[in-house]
Structure 1
Amino acid sequence: MTRCDATAVRVLIVEDTPSRNGALTRALQVRGEVVVCAQTVTGAVSVRVVSREAPDVIVLSLSTDDGTGQRFIELVMALRPTPILVLSPRIENRQSLLAIQALVAGALETLPTPTQWNADAEAQLRRTIRRLSTVQAIRHPRGHLARSARRGSTPSVRQAVVALAASTGGPRALAEVLAGLEELRAPILVVQHLHPDFIDGFVGWMSRESALPVEMATHDQILQPGHVYLAPGHKHLRLAAGLRTELSSGPVTLHRPSADELFRSVAVHAGSAGVGVILTGMGDDGARGLLALQRAGGQTFGQDEASSAVFGMPQAAQQLGALSSLLPLNQLAPAIKRASALVQA
């Protein structure tokens, strides 16, 4: 075990299989601003090592996707919340299934394991470690559920989060759906592809039609159950940790706000408590994000072809296998209410 310098970021390396490869340790420690305090393998003993060492950041190195890493993350976030970076050769980007599973479980960041640690890869790793060391980790909902299950107690009530996305023909469809959501006890995040000049009028229209209060989303808002938050023009709307909103100009995508960005964020921060709905629209924005949400255990719905002005977006999601159900427009609001009630039952 290396003695930790007080000025260095203290890192614990955890692996899902024992390894004698010191390349990761060398990549971390080469400049001296990061110190590896201990190394262990996933399992109950590794959680005790986390408690004993109290590292600033955990680097979880995964070579398989058998679920051991995800269980480790959930246990850490329940017992001793610590920023976790997941490295794996099975991760290509943040949309990779293993990356989504890790983020849903409570990890803060994921990176692909390079085939060879060169100077650029080492520098990126250390930059990420330094950034994560400044983040205060919070107890993750899935970790709470895992801990409660072990004690045999009743899990705490989860908060459902609803995400709606639409494009061509969307405002009329959204108006009908929002009108049918009376008494819904979940926050609703909405992305509508629309020119920024029309956003104010769109907010006013939805406010008149909706059974729930409607407002333009602002950055770092705490979401309230039974409220509707509309994405502003030229900003992505995402769900962030702690049931907060996140507005961002990046990444630059064909559509901004992007349905994919919204749905992916709900997959990460709500997981199985997320409800995603894709309405009429041209193109395929939202299909991959809905697939991420479905893989995270969320419930996903699409507007059927007969009731859609343009079936492009729901059809793209259907072809990816990202939809739990394809429903007529007039059945979507009841489906959302049922799905939300199941989450919080």
Structure 2
Amino acid sequence: MTLTRLILRSSLLRAPPTTAIISASINLQSFSLHSQPSNPTFPVPVSSLAFSLAEEATAECRHRKHLPRIVPPLIVPGRPLGGGRPKRDPNLPDTISDLVEPRLSLHNRVQSLIHAGDIDNASAVARQSVFSDIRPTVFTCNAIIASMYRSQRYTDAIALFIYFFKQCNLIPNIVSYNYLIISYCENGEVDKALEVYQHIKENAPFSPSAVTFRHLTKGLIDAKRIDEAVNWLWKMLCGKSLSPNVTTYRMLIDAYFKAGRVDEAMEKFTKMVEAGLRVIPTYANKWFSELIENGKIVECEPILTKMGKSDPKPDAATYDIVIRALFGACDYETGLNLVQQMIRYGVGEWPVLKEYLLEQQQVNREGLHQPKAGSLAV
């Protein structure tokens, strides 16, 4: 055994683990340096893992432990070689990620002026920013157009849309078009609103929304073009796989009542119930009252029964209106069936309705009125 190996073995046995590793590394390095051949053409590689202090060895071990096991690729698929964000299609409207830094500051400034009621100054700031380096986003444009619409300045809202999106070549989104359509409708220019809808279908990179159809339906109804609102827009709603909502149904039903077309109104209300749309009690009470005033008392019972089969149930006020009308028409049997429905569904009875039923029971006992069938036991 050579002298070097003896020294190495003794250092490993006596020293602690970390110190032994350092000493062994130093001894090996010194041994390799002294045992290099004299020929420089074939140099012997020297180990670079030699440390002079225990802290350096510990730090190196800790560093190597935290190194990633898998080196990430230099080129990620789908990411441009130059780095940074990919370029956005200039034919598409702004997204929420574009509302950052100076453009966000501009948007907040315009919104602050709108909330302060200074709409004209907000409009001036938004219009002047088009010629600066910080062009407004579509959200800023929509905010000022919406404020003009809410202030019933429909002509100014239309003019701002034309300025931003036609003269200054900003790209509108569906919200921008919806404000333009409702502004045309409220301004009595329904035909222009229909032209905007046709333009969206043919040129926009998106489809009309349910709000678009609702605005057009309201505009046609206000223009007393109910048949066109039903036959054309209703067909387009179904063709676009957009389910008509409660607001659309209510607008059509109210328009039918105003035109005296009670049967069509009743048909649309029945469709709304069959579609499972929620009918709020306030509107149900109004609708049943309209139906009773037009002499459709008997038709109320099957519709109310169908409403009771789904949730949410009609409230006690709705039952009260229909039951009183049936009792007034001497249809006691149908009225009692509705009372039993109230008890079965757990709707409960109004104290006023209970008093009315007791009065009818007293009248029945005195023989002033004869019921069709059954008795009026509460």
Shorter-chain TM-score: which interval?
A: under 0.3
TM (norm. structure 1) is 0.28
Q: Which has the higher helix share?
A: 2
Larger fraction in strand: 1
TM-score where L is the length of structure 2: 0.26
Q: Which one has more relative contact order, counting CA pairs under 8 Å at least 6 apart?
A: 1
